[in-house]
Chains A and B, each alone.
Chain A
């Protein structure tokens, strides 16, 4: 069965520091991978997605992610974190012909000044 693992429940970084959020997936075929962000009381906003082609994808708000098939990973990175990046981040993969998203448990990011 398809699954997504985000091993870090909570991460705290200093403003201006680099960030990497980990995501590992289990999927039988070529996956469609997504990163979503959820600010408190808000819905989910797409940061970036990977379907095929270049394994390094750029997203909004300065985020990027790298697809590594050999490691079944799709880690999210940002070179310099801003206080406004504090939120919860979800990695997801599409599963099944109906295209529903299978989410990881999420990583909550706190940013300290």
Chain B
């Protein structure tokens, strides 16, 4: 079946502009994660959604970052007033049920964001 998809695959934006990154998880997967992969910091957790519960935003680096998940499916990560340090690959992952037990996370191909 279809895997996790992300769009766009590449995004170049000017410093100060807002960007939206989209993630379509595997159908039926209830939990969704966003991660950021940058040269300096490696892979970092950003935010977690489980069903219709309030998201865990503990990994968001600043209040310029926000995310939503509509209808328990598609998620959008929004970065406002982008800065050059936001340049990274943003990865989305989903799992079928509750994370208790450490299920495998299925990753999308990522969105490469470049802030000029």
Q: Could you tell me which A residues sit within 8 Å of B by CB distance? A: 32, 34, 36, 41-46, 49, 51, 90, 92, 94, 97-106
The answer to the question of B99 belonging to the interface, with a C-beta cut-off of 8 Å to chain A, is: yes
B71: CB under 8 A from chain A?
Answer: no
Residues of B within 8 A of A97 (CB): 99-100
Of B11-19, B60-68, B80-88, B107-115, which stretch is located at the interface? B107-115
- Asked if residues A101 and B45 are in contact (CB atoms below 8 Å), the reply is yes
Instruction: Report B10 CB to chain A, min CB distance, Å.
Output: 10
> For the complex, what is the distance from the CA of A92 to the CA of B42, rounded to whole Å?
12
Q: Is the CB of B56 within 8 A of A51?
A: no
Chain B interface size range:
20 to 34
In the bound complex, residues from chain B placing their C-beta under 8 Å from that of A101 are: 33, 35, 43, 45, 93, 105
* Cβ–Cβ contact A99 & B100, under 8 A: yes
Q: State in angstroms the CA–CA spacing of A32 and B104 once bound together.
A: 10
Tell which of A34, A36, A49, A99 touches B95, judged by Cβ atoms closer than 8 Å: A99
Is B101 interfacial (CB-CB < 8 Å)?
A: yes
Interfacial chain A residues near B31, Cβ < 8 Å:
99
Q: How far is the CB of A68 from chain B (nearest CB, A)?
A: 18
Specify which of A43, A90, A99, A105 is in contact with B99 (CB 8 Å cutoff): A99
Contact B56 A98 (CB under 8 A): yes
Given contacts A43-B91, A44-B107, A99-B95, 11 further A-B contacts (CB under 8 A): A32-B101, A36-B107, A43-B108, A43-B109, A44-B93, A45-B107, A97-B100, A99-B103, A100-B99, A103-B42, A104-B42
